[in-house]
Structure 1
Amino acid sequence: MIRKRLTSLIDCLSTYSSKEVPLSLEKIKLLLLQEYDLELSDKMIRTELDFLQSPESIYKLISKNNEENYRERVYCLENTTFQLHELRYLMDAVSSARFISQLETSQLIYKLRGLTDETTSKRLANELIHSEGKIVIRHFADNVQTLHEAIKAKKCVKFQYGRYNVEKNFILSREGGFYNVIPLGVIWYQEYYYLIAKEQGKEKIIQYRIDRMSSVLKTEDSWTSEPGFDLERYVSQLFNMYSGERRNIAIEFDNHLINVIIDRFGIDAKIKPVDDNRFLLETEGIVSDGLVRWLLTWGADAKAVSPEDLVERMKKEINRYSGIYT
């Protein structure tokens, strides 16, 4: 009975009290009777409150004078699990993730709001509005977990891979054949999960959208880390997740794009003025269609300087644009 008395009091305070809405002894007594079917005396409740304030308790009970009645004490438990802003971050991440279905989004947000008291939960009622539609992917969570487990165990994986066609049918590549790869890492980029991997027997690193995978399986083949390979550094050199050759690149930008470049390459990016209106960025990156299209985002405000093959690719893409609008 004593254990039930204490656990019910903890649950009562966790659910119905907060720093903004602490509970008086009479309110606690009423809630224990109504919600927990426990009829306790003031002395019994005070005994449990004293324990929660003792060094033996893992909970932190806050006790203070009631602002409306200074002679009365009020109580609440300090939320040591999640702060309001932390729960908001988690809820917003769930809401914005396209690979989490709308049904699962609602279920996860309901669970997250249940990790705090009622008052704080009500403050989390306004959900983030996501600008893009959710997608439903079978076995997506299982596939992500399989990949993480394979990376940790240094095991290879195999999977089928595909894309939608213009008829909105999902078509498997290689006529449904499996890709056998060495999984180097999983990243989350612009609302999508990607697997960074090498096909067995090949050197080129490729990025695979995990929502386009099916039948993901861990194999018994083992792999070892490549000496000197830095996954975080590699990912930082990608543009829109396109694969390509790692090269030294130089690009001129108009000065008004300086904050865009710092956001993308960091405050330590190698930058120097070209004239009063432009600056030069020198960095290492993956030369790919992704880089070309990223540069075209900025129109005439960005100009590729080197390497020469990047300049040529820019020219060809610009000519394609001009051909469309003639």
Structure 2
Amino acid sequence: MTSNLPLLPTSVIGSYAWPAWLHTALAAAQRGEYGPDDMLETQNDAVDLALRDQDDAGVDIITDGEMRRVGFFTAEFYGHMTGLIELPPRRKVGVVGHDQREGYEATAPVEAPAGLGLVQEFEYARTRTATPLKVPCPGPFTLAGRIRPGSIYKDRIDVAYALAAIINRELKALVQAGVTFIQLDEPSYAVHSRAGAPEEFVKLFNTAVDGVNAKIGLHLCFGNFVGRPVAKRTYRPLFPYILDVRADQLALEFANREMAELDLWREFASEKELAAGVVDVKNYYVETPADVAERIRRVLEVAPAEKVTLTPDCGFSQTARWASRAKLKALVDGTKIVRAELTGT
């Protein structure tokens, strides 16, 4: 994948903004007005839209927008699993928040007999674009956060290791299908970091990617449901431990924190690639290309251009489509400014 990419390639994290009609289609499906073929057609159209918007903006490495995934990882992942019962939300009325999301409890060892559906997502997307594709997947610790151990598992980490085995099989199936770049999303690492946790996160991550013959990325953020983080926004407790993950690239959010903690990359030298978030998905201020270029220059103060990819901070699923399109264009155009400065072309 990387051989034909330009210096400072642009990419996305994973999810893309839904068009209005996809929201209404999902509501109709939940009322029983859509059959499975109706919903498949709708989701295919949504993937086509996400791919087109990214291609129109000129992004170098794209995803299918996770358009088949409702709420990042909820029903579309847990629905593939056995051994779970769904629990009601803790709060159903008022301002939308993390405590209004569904949860599950393990009643038997968790399995995914038919996989998690990622292979099918990829196989459709690769027929619809010639642009290099990355496949994002929620990591086991983040997925485990919505599963109570019940009497089956000891704690969240125990659940996560069971999920790591499921994810590992899925990632190997993706490679078999032709995927060359896989990203695990683990916002929960930064959110739940504590004494001893980073080392355990590294072991867990490495278990999930063991034997997976592809470029591996790890996306670390602070949560983005309804555009709201869920904890202190600092990566420092994860460093330097997180550099021991078997990942080729770390994707970190910087733009929404005014580029704070870039110095961590200088303080803890690493041969890993840095996918630097230079577009703020939590803000409806649409960056200009000059804004993005200035952020990129700051990234290049701590990392060599040959090791840098430019991305938004997180996925666009919680951002309106009009803003997502404009921010993607600013990302690409700002990158072109700095690329020209570096190459003289």
| TM-score, with structure 1 as normaliser | 0.24
Q: Between Structure 1 and Structure 2, whose CA radius of gyration is higher?
A: 1
Larger RCO (CA within 8 A; separation ≥ 6): 2
Q: Please give the TM-score of this superposition, normalised by the length of structure 2.
A: 0.23
Structure having the higher strand fraction is 1
